[in-house]
Amino acid sequence: MKFLLVGLGNIGEEYRYTRHNIGFLVLDRMVNKYQTEFKSGKLADTATFRIKNKVVTAIKPTTYMNLSGKSYRYWLEQLDVPVEQSMAVVDELALQFGTIRIKTKGSSGGHNGLASIEQELKTAAYARLRFGIGNSFSKGKQIDYVLGKWSDEEVKALPELLDKTILAIEESILSGFSNAMNKFNG
């Protein structure tokens, strides 16, 4: 069985360690765990590895956040993976830092990357793992916050939180989204 994992973020060194790039950070750590690496591909950097009997292709779109759906759709079609066997990993302002939520459908919630995916897939029924980045910013400073670097406290906490997120993804792939939601949402 095949599974597509899509980390959302922006390409370029200036975005590398920003809150908006948590999808890339999660996938970088996961690909490292499975002792492989990303290679340049069409519309995305890609890495393939096995989790037990599942072949997982992880992609980091090179289309920038607002056009992530283009890459997502292309790789679903290219790999012949049903949308039900895919998941987007994305930042979420509405959740406290480090909180994760898995859902199998829902709205974009104003997130441009998710809106692009919905537009390209012509459905909101795809799995997403939202990683809370918090919302401690002043009025009118949302973009600066989202595209800002992690605080020193967040940097210290990230490794453990990234590992927990990887466990949630593995659970989703191996046991299904319902089991993962029961175990990790909350």
User: Is 70:119 a contact under the CB 8 Å cutoff?
Assistant: no
The structure tokens listed for 112 are 């441009």
Residue type at position 144: D
User: Is 28:40 a contact under the CB 8 Å cutoff?
Assistant: no
The structure tokens listed for 52 are 């037990």
Nearest to 44 by CA among 8, 87, 94, 80: 8
Which residues carry out catalysis? 20
| Start-to-end CA span in the chain (Å) | 29
